[in-house]
Amino acid sequence: AQRVTQPEKLLSVFKGAPVELKCNYSYSGSPELFWYVQYSRQRLQLLLRHISRESIKGFTADLNKGETSFHLKKPFAQEEDSAMYYCALYTGNQFYFGTGTSLTVIP
């Protein structure tokens, strides 16, 4: 069965410190992975997707099929990065979301 696991519900880092939000998935097919973000009082929005290999707002994520992971990383956290982050797996007709990680960047 398809599953997305985000082991950390809460994560706090100091401004300027590196941050890594973990995501592991379970899927027998060819996965397409995404990170969605929800800032305070805003709607859920796409942050980045693995297939584009892009860096958005300094964030990157690499799909590791061997470890079935898609961790989100940023070398230097900023206060504006504080938000709720959801990892999502697309299987061709559905998106499966993880339970989310609430990131707080401490000034």
Partner 1 sequence: DTGVSQDPRHKITKRGQNVTFRCDPISEHNRLYWYRQTLGQGPEFLTYFQNEAQLEKSRLLSDRFSAERPKGSFSTLEIQRTEQGDSAMYLCASSSKTGGASFATNEKLFFGSGTQLSVL
Which spans of this chain sit near partner 1 (rule: CB under 8 A)? Answer: 4, 6, 9, 32, 34, 36, 43-46, 49, 51-52, 86, 88, 90, 92-100
C-beta separation of 14 from 105 below 8 A: yes
Closest separation between CB of residue 15 and partner 1, Å?
26
Residue closer to partner 1 (CB basis): 30 or 107: 30
CB atoms < 10 A from the CB of 76, how many?
12
Q: How far is the CB of 93 from partner 1 (least distance, A)?
A: 6
**Burial of 50 (C-beta count, 10 Å sphere; 0-12/13-18/19+):** middle
Q: How far is CA 23 from the centre of its chain?
A: 7
Beta carbon nearer to partner 1, 40 or 94? 94
Closest separation between CB of residue 36 and partner 1, Å?
A: 8
**Closer residue to partner 1, CB minimum distance, 11 or 44:** 44
Q: What phi and psi values does residue 52 have, to the nearest 5 degrees?
A: -85, -15
